[in-house]
Amino acid sequence: MPKPSFFQEFNDNPAAREIILEITRKWEALGFDVNNPGEKCLLFALAARMLSRNFSPKPLPNTEDFGNLSQWVDFWTSIGVELPILQASLPEILSIPLPPQSENISGNTGQKGDIFQELYQQLFLHSQRFARGEFFTPQALANKIVGEICLLQETSIIPRIIDPACGTGVFLVACYCIILESSLSDPEKISAFKQIAGFDINPFSAELTRVNLLLILAGTPFWRDPSFIQVRVQNTLEELLAASSRNQEQFDVILGNPPWGSLARLPDPALRDQMVVAAKRLEIQAPIQANNELAVIFMDLCVEVLLRSGGNVAMVLPRTILESSSLDKWRVLRSYRDIFIWVIDESVFPIPGVVFFARKGTLLGDNSDNYRIPVSRAKWNLEEPVGSLLELTPPEHWVPYHVDWDKANKLIHRVRKWVPEDSFNTAAVQRSEYYAQAEKGANIGPITFVSVIPKSPAQDAVVEFAPDLEGGKVPFESAPYSEASVEACYIFPYVKSRHLIPFGITKILHCFLPVQVVGDHFEFDRHLAPHAARHWDFLATKYAALRSLPPGKDLFSHYLNHKHHLESPKMLARFKVVFNEGGQRVKAAILREGEIVEHTLVFVPVASEVEAFYLAGIMNSAYISDFFTGAGGRGSARHVSLRPLEFPIPILDVGNPTFGTIQQDIVDAARSLEEYVKELVDNSAASVPPSTIEKKTRSYFPAAWERLNAAVTRLFRE
């Protein structure tokens, strides 16, 4: 059993639980949305003790009396440093019983950092924080970012700085520490403090930020009058979207770590709809608008509304800004200039991240050289002492692997993924001819409706089957029938991404489809055989009862043949190279028996088996996966889609005097690997998961993989 966290031990204390209930009632009476009350009570209990430890030994300003913490809280509130949560519930917070080990939790203001971030990460299990999407900016990284923007490069001009999603104040703490350690006079330091502001939607986080700053000031000459602290509770997104926000104060610097995740995570439907509209205007366009990256939209709106022309932005963002196809138009960067980026090591965040630095302005002219940007790597070593945690590598230049031009207006229209300049031999590449041949798979579903497990031999005229229940989703998680039968001609083999491994498919599935082959493609069979007609009518009726359908649509037109993928002539090609639409590595296999391809896969029909080996070999190579998930960082293949085919893979031509021999080497290596993988799959028990078999395919045949990877590397680098 894993050792329980300090928080779990605290939360199991009956006396603590009783006080938490009382405090929660007080907070709710103030109108606060109190989720996770135990965590908040614990953090504020520790906050109160640290404030008392640092300020109770000091006399109250303008008196000779040593006040208790309640008097200090009243004093701070009187000068504008509001602490409503502590003020409303301080006696109860101070009465919360803390275990003895709480004394070991660091609260030393001498560390000059976000004390509550450190406490939070010690008190609560990583799994608890990750589940809520809480990706903290380590203090050393915040210090490095604030130092990079040269906060005090001109002592006579202190920039106005805002963190629009300040959390518990890590960036504000960094700014305060730089000011405190500077050579400015005390009056100049006070003027500098007044230039620093923070917003946060969460009143608990905002109050902890104020406490953080008070504790930073406790050992300085400024503890007597910290009225310059500017932290307010504000729904920054709503303010940015409001028409009146166009008249808001503008700042010289915007920095911070904005909220991460997709728009779908926003709890307010109206706000989510507004953000979708904003995303379209900002040319941030995921295939499903609700999947757009919230952090990028948040930054763009902040820059648009809150940052003066020529001002600096420094934001911690997901690494998808370098690579996501939904940001191809955004990477044209109409609002930014003087861009440089730090790629952050993954030990910093559970999701790969970058720091995006830029000035508000426009690039000079539409020139692809504008998109050659300096990129450093921020390496993280948790074994090093505080203050030397972060090292930056010398910058290297990254470039787009493809730039799309709007020829009519002579403007750059899209900037594809950024990659290291030395990772390939040309700065602007053209799509492979295979791109135009590629097709997305068909919607084989709902799974519990059409995916079947045959119970009788396929050669029977009528096949009996049970529903396949693996992978059913709401509202179709339950099968509408227990067993059925249709004519054999309506049962088709199909493949899913779940069973795809490099050079192989671990399991062929079967489905019932009401189609017939007409010429070179599938069409809906309007004269279904009796068993099939009966079963199809039953399924279509059940589907219509569970899903609201547009006029004139049914299960076939609305779902199975969505965007006509099922009826595409490419689906009936004899040889198809199929690869994953999502995942961490590109993997491909060859289909030879006319199997239908499901929508989580992409496929390319090819003319021959030799060409299939060639393309599958390239797609499975380390070169392609490293290019799409290594150069840009792990996580870039979350949406593989057609992106590997945007790379300039030449069409197979083994007679070509320049690279024909290399292409034949790829074919031969791929053929060998497929044979090895087939034997591995055949000898694996049905209970062995595909992921286990995939790991074996990548480790069992090193000589064959080395041969393939060497050939593919030669093809693109020679």
pLDDT of residue 632 exceeding 50: no
Q: Give, to the nearest 10 degrees, the angle between helix 170-180 and helix 139-148.
A: 60
The confidence score (pLDDT) of residue 105 equals 52
Q: What is the dihedral of CA 518, 521, 523, 527, to 10 degrees?
A: 30
CA–CA separation, 599 vs 592, rounded Å?
18
Residue where the block lists tokens 């940052």: 307
Name the residue type at position 352.
P
Q: Cα–Cα distance between 684 and 681 in angstroms, integer?
A: 5
Mean pLDDT value of segment 250-254: 93
Q: What is the mean pLDDT of residues 416-443?
A: 77
Mean pLDDT value of segment 380-397? 68
Chain-centre distance of CA 473, in angstroms? Answer: 23
Q: Name residues whose C-beta falls within 8 Å of residue 682's C-beta, 6 or more positions apart in sequence.
A: none
Q: What tens digit of pLDDT does each residue of 89-120 get? A: 899 988 888 766 555 554 444 456 666 665 55
Measured CA to CA, the distance from residue 346 to residue 319 in angstroms comes to: 10
Tokens 């779990």: give the residue: 8
CA distance 628 to 698: 18
From residue 300, give the alpha-carbon distance in Å to each of 297, 330, 364: 5, 10, 19
**Cα 445 to Cα 133: distance, rounded to the nearest angstrom:** 31
Q: How far apart are the first and last CA of the chain?
A: 55
pTM of the model: 0.67
Greatest C-alpha distance within the chain: 100
Q: How far is CA 329 from CA 340, 397, 403, in A?
A: 18, 20, 10
The pLDDT mean for the chain works out to 83
Burial 214-234 (b: 16+ CB within 10 A, else e): bbbbbeeebbeebebbbbebb
pLDDT for residue 463 is more than 50: yes
Token pair in block for residue 262? 């997709």
Q: Is 60 exceeded by the pLDDT of residue 123?
A: no
> pLDDT of 391-424, one tens digit each?
888 999 988 877 777 766 667 878 878 888 876 5
Q: Enter the tokens of residue 254.
A: 């915007």
Nearest one of 184, 201, 204, 203 to 193, comparing CA atoms: 184
Q: Name the least confident of 69-78, 185-194, 273-282, 480-489.
A: 273-282
- How are strands ordered across the β-sheet holding 596-597? 484-487, 462-467, 451-454, 509-512, 491-495, 596-597
The Cα 39–Cα 602 span in angstroms is: 45
Q: What is the crossing angle of helices 37-55 and 203-217, to 10°?
A: 20
Pairing of strands 504-505, 500-501: antiparallel
Which residues pair with residue 403 across a beta bridge? 415
Is the pLDDT at 3 greater than 50, yes or no?
A: no
Does the pLDDT value for residue 502 go beyond 60? yes
What confidence tens digit (pLDDT) does each residue in 352-379 have?
Answer: 789 999 999 987 666 667 888 999 988 7
Rounded CA separation 641/94 (Å): 55
Length of the chain: 718
User: Hey, which residues does 522 pair with through a beta bridge?
Assistant: 517
Question: Residue 392: phi, psi to the nearest 5?
Answer: -110, 135
Nearest alpha carbon to residue 674 among 608, 601, 618, 616: 616
Which of these ranges, 62-66, 306-310, 549-553, 667-671, has the smallest mean pLDDT? 62-66
Q: How far is CA 657 from the centre of its chain?
A: 44
In what helix (H) or strand (E) does residue 538 lie, and over which residues does it extend?
Answer: helix 530-546
Crossing angle of the two packed helices 84-95 and 14-29, in degrees rounded to 10: 160
**Could you tell me the residue ranges of all domains in the chain?**
440-717
The span from the CA of 517 to the CA of 265, in Å, is 43
* E-assigned strand segments in 445-508: 451-454, 462-467, 484-487, 491-495, 500-501, 504-505
Residue 428 confidence (pLDDT): 47
Residue 80 Cα distances to 55, 73, 76, 203, 227, angstroms: 18, 11, 6, 15, 6
What mean pLDDT do residues 133-148 have? 79
- Of 115-124, 183-192, 245-254, 691-700, least confident by mean pLDDT is 115-124
Q: Which distant-in-sequence residues (6+ apart) come within 8 Å of 53 by Cβ?
A: 107
H-state helical runs in 149-244: 170-180, 186-193, 203-217, 236-241
Whether the CB-CB separation of 642 and 435 falls below 8 Å is answered with: yes
User: Can you count the helices (H) and strands (E) in the chain?
Assistant: 23, 27
Q: What is the pLDDT of residue 602?
A: 94
Q: Residue 234, CB half-sphere, CA atoms under 13 Å: how many?
A: 19
pLDDT at 34: 78
For residues 404 and 476, which has the higher predicted lDDT (pLDDT)? 476
Q: The tokens of 571 are what? A: 């689906």
Query: What percent of the chain has pLDDT above 70?
Result: 84
If you average pLDDT over residues 255-265, what whole number do you get? 83
Outline where DSSP puts E strands in 527-665: 575-580, 588-591, 596-597, 601-606
